[in-house]
Amino acid sequence: MTEASDPIPLASSSNGRVSGKPWKAQKMATVRSQASKGRKTQWEERMERTKREKAIKKLENELKEEKQAEKQRRRQITTERKKAAEERRKLEEDKAKMGVRKAARRRRQAGRTKKVNG
């Protein structure tokens, strides 16, 4: 009875027991010799790298937005200049028309006809 009550010493394993099948290999953690760099580095290093990459992306985006704003500003200036030039051209045409009308009115006032001026 003393033998039955004595605890049986357990072999040290992950679960505290041995399978009893000698042909079965003990399962172990996979050793990845060709693992990606992300898996081989420490967590802090990865977070530092991602932080740097985010900062670089942010700077790139700011530069891109600045460039876009400058392009937009130049485009706006060009369109304003075109509008001003068109406005000046229209005013010149209207001025010329008004000059012709005024001259015709003065000729009429002077008593000349189309046949004489023609």
Q: Where are the domains of the chain?
A: 42-108
38, 46 Cβ separation under 8 angstroms = yes
Tell me the whole-structure pTM to 2 decimals. Answer: 0.42
What is the chain's alpha carbon radius of gyration, rounded to the nearest angstrom?
Answer: 47
Residue 15's pLDDT band, with cuts at 50, 70 and 90, is: low
What is the identity of the amino acid at 4?
A
Instruction: Choose between 70 and 12: higher pLDDT.
Output: 70
Which pLDDT score, from 0 to 100, does residue 3 have?
57
List the one residue out of 16, 44, 14, 18 whose CA is nearest residue 29. 14
Question: Exposed/middle/buried for 98, CB within 10 Å: 0-12, 13-18, 19+?
Answer: exposed
For 47-86, the three-class secondary structure string (H helix, E strand, C coil) is HHHHHHHHHHHHHHHHHHHHHHHHHHHHHHHHHHHHHHHH
How many angstroms separate the Cα of 4 from the Cα of each of 1, 20, 81?
5, 21, 105
Please write the tens of the pLDDT for every residue from 32-90: 677 676 677 788 888 999 999 999 999 999 999 999 999 999 999 999 999 999 999 99
